[in-house]
Amino acid sequence: MLFSEAVARSRTWEPSPSEHRMWVKVFKACDEDHKGYLSREDFKVAVVMLFGYKPSKIEVDSVMSSINPNTSGILLEEFLNIVRKKKEAQRYRNEIRHIFTAFDTYYRGFLTLEDFKKAFRQVAPKLPERTVLEVFREVDRDSDGHVSFRDFEYAMNYGQKEA
138-157 core/surface letters (b: 16 or more CB in 10 A; e: else)? ebbeeeeeebbbebbbebbe
Q: For the chain, how many residues are written?
A: 163
pLDDT confidence tier of residue 56, bands split at 50, 70 and 90: very high
The CA–CA distances, whole Å, from 6 to 11, 60, 115 equal 9, 28, 20
Q: Where are the domains of the chain?
A: 17-86, 104-159
Question: Domain 17-86 falls in which CATH fold?
Answer: Recoverin; domain 1 (1.10.238)
Question: What would the CATH number be for the domain defined by 104-159?
Answer: 1.10.238.10
pLDDT confidence tier of residue 8, bands split at 50, 70 and 90: very low
pLDDT in tens, 11-30: 567 889 999 999 999 999 99
Predicted model pTM:
0.70
